[in-house]
Amino acid sequence: MSRTSYDRYLTVFSPEGRLYQVEYAFKAISGSGHTAISVRGKDTSVVITQKKVPDKLLDASSVTHLSSITPTIGCVVTGLIADAKAQIFRAQQEAADWRYKYGYEITPDALARRLANINQVYTQRAGMRPLGISMILIGIDPEYGPQCFKLDPAGYFVGFHATAAGQKQQEAMNHLEKKWKKLDNGRGVDDAAAAAKKLSRAEVIEIAIEAMSTVHATDYKSGEIEIGIVSTADEEDAKVKGMWRVMDEAEVEQHLLAYAEKD
């Protein structure tokens, strides 16, 4: 087998120990043209992504990268949207099975682990291909509070205080790291978890919007981004406290104005 043909087989390692098809799946994410950012604080997890409507005749309300998985867990997906739909459907199935078996809602870390295990199998067996998507899950854990997990096509998942995925992932991560270092009077660099626990709902949303605006050097309008949130903060309406929801345009506009005024 020639060296150039190692990328034709999903299950065959190259002599350098690489799985090219899995690497190509990562390129599908960065080449999607979208960026997603997630931040979590003491009582809030938030995800933000661009909303691009490719055609004027499309119904803009039907174009979204945000999705609900359980009443308290939601996600943002970056990459191939058809692959995303398949993984979201599988996640909803897994969450429903868990509730049926055990009588309570699945926690964000258990769901992330299960989906990562499924993704890993797709890199190991012929007959299926890795999904060309990166999923960021957010939710409230009854014991640990707000959670944020990122999954990749290789089957790796890990928890974050703040993370990004997609086209400008590295620039966004660099921005978030710099932001984190300044938190808690410069102590964020020593103890990221302690710094995150002091972030209010408004601060979490502001950091996410700031990161998105900075990496794209764009002042977004309310129809150009979408924000998903899970929060137990007092500012949340009692009916939706602790529940996943997508902000409407009026609420997004409020937060964009608050950020613009502070800037």
Q: What is the pLDDT of residue 198?
A: 87
Mean predicted confidence (pLDDT) in 98-124: 95
Mean predicted confidence (pLDDT) in 103-112: 95
- Asked whether the predicted pLDDT for residue 148 surpasses 80, the reply is yes
Pairwise CA distance, residues 132 & 181, whole Å = 32
Mean predicted confidence (pLDDT) in 158-180: 93
- Asked whether the predicted pLDDT for residue 185 surpasses 80, the reply is no
- Asked whether the predicted pLDDT for residue 213 surpasses 60, the reply is yes
Pairwise CA distance, residues 114 & 157, whole Å = 10
The CATH homologous superfamily for domain 18-261 is Aminohydrolase, N-terminal nucleophile (Ntn) domain (3.60.20.10)
- Asked whether the predicted pLDDT for residue 190 surpasses 80, the reply is no
Q: What is the pLDDT of residue 1?
A: 46
Q: What is the pLDDT of residue 88?
A: 96
Mean residue pLDDT of the chain comes to: 91
pLDDT, tens digit (0-9, with 9 covering 90-100), for 121-146: 999 888 888 999 999 999 999 999 99
Residue 219, SS3 per DSSP: coil
Contact in structure between 106 and 73 (CB atoms under 8 Å):
yes
Q: What is the pLDDT of residue 189?
A: 72
Q: 199 has which bridge partners?
A: none
- Asked whether the predicted pLDDT for residue 2 surpasses 80, the reply is no
Mean predicted confidence (pLDDT) in 60-73: 92
Mean predicted confidence (pLDDT) in 62-80: 94
Output the pTM of the full model.
0.93
96 contact partners, CB below 8 Å, separation of at least 6: none
% of the chain at pLDDT higher than 90: 66
* Dihedrals phi, psi of 245, to nearest 5 degrees: -155, 160
Q: What is the pLDDT of residue 215?
A: 93
Mean predicted confidence (pLDDT) in 75-82: 94
- Asked whether the predicted pLDDT for residue 105 surpasses 80, the reply is yes
Q: pLDDT band for position 3 (50/70/90)?
A: low
Burial class (CB in 10 A: 0-12, 13-18, 19+), 227: buried
% of the chain at pLDDT higher than 70: 98
> Residues of 110-137 as b/e, b for ≥16 C-beta within 10 angstroms?
ebbebbbebbeebbeeeeeebbbbbbbb
- Asked whether the predicted pLDDT for residue 74 surpasses 60, the reply is yes
